[in-house]
Amino acid sequence: MFEWIKESLTVGNATVKYPFAPLELIPDSRGKPEHDALACIVCGACATACPPNALQMHLDLPNNNYIWQINYGRCIFCGRCEEVCPVKAIELTQEFELAVMSKDDMLETATYSLQRCALCNKQYAPSKEIDYLNSLLDSFAQNDEEVQRAKEQLSICPQCRRIAESANVKFICEQLERRA
């Protein structure tokens, strides 16, 4: 018995003092994802990739909104959202103490407006996503005329685009000019 006590004293502590002392984290430890609502382009890639559906996107058509939402209560800190985000708008931190008094406090949301089709006026995509695609077109622009045509295509919904493609592209340009 004394031998065992003596040995255990020489080995030292096998456990840590947390939560009575701060926990020392290893450099790559993963915690709460942090969303940069301004940088986000509302592409939805993170919500598609999230294994436990902690990340979700909801359409709120009556209020013309697209809602990005994370439920930290479901998050498993896997990092898939960070991997797939094209603009680094979501990144894992090392924060892991997420206890709250109410389940609602586990939710974080960001609300984005929807773009309306320049022809039929229906909502068809988040405005920020369209703005991002327009800025990409500007940065890769080789030919002004092509860029203008691509931007016109972006300003209409997929349904109007299909109709236009199967009918007459000129018709759409005339309609856009008339509305301008």
Select from 10-18, 40-48, 139-147, 163-171 the region that touches ligand SF4 (CB under 6 A). 40-48
Q: What's the CA gap between 68 and 107, in Å, rounded? A: 10
Q: Does 130 help bind ligand SF4 (rule: CB under 6 A)?
A: no
Taken as a whole, the chain contains a residue count of 180
Q: Decide whether 90 or 164 has the Cβ nearer to ligand SF4.
A: 90
Q: Does 76 help bind ligand SF4 (rule: CB under 6 A)?
A: yes
Q: Does 87 help bind ligand SF4 (rule: CB under 6 A)?
A: yes
Q: Which residue in the set 31, 34, 56, 77 belongs to the binding site for ligand SF4 (CB under 6 A)?
A: 77
Interface pattern 45-74 for ligand SF4 (x via CB under 6 A) = xx--xxxx-xx------------x-x----
Q: Does 90 help bind ligand SF4 (rule: CB under 6 A)?
A: yes
Per-residue three-class SS string for the chain:
CHHHHHHHHHHCCCCCCCCCCCCCCCCCCCCCEEECCCCCCCCCHHHHHCCCCCEEEEEEHHHCEEEEEEECCCCCCCCHHHHHCCCCCEEECCCCCCCCCCHHHHEEEEEEEEEECCCCCCEEEEHHHHHHHHHHHHHHCCCHHHHHHHHHHHCCCHHHHHHHHHCCHHHHHHHHHHHC
Q: Does 80 help bind ligand SF4 (rule: CB under 6 A)?
A: yes
Q: Does 158 help bind ligand SF4 (rule: CB under 6 A)?
A: no
Select from 21-29, 82-90, 159-167, 169-177 the region that touches ligand SF4 (CB under 6 A). 82-90
Q: What's the CA gap between 167 and 123, in Å, rounded? A: 22
Q: Decide whether 52 or 158 has the Cβ nearer to ligand SF4.
A: 52
Q: Decide whether 56 or 175 has the Cβ nearer to ligand SF4.
A: 56
Q: Does 114 help bind ligand SF4 (rule: CB under 6 A)?
A: no
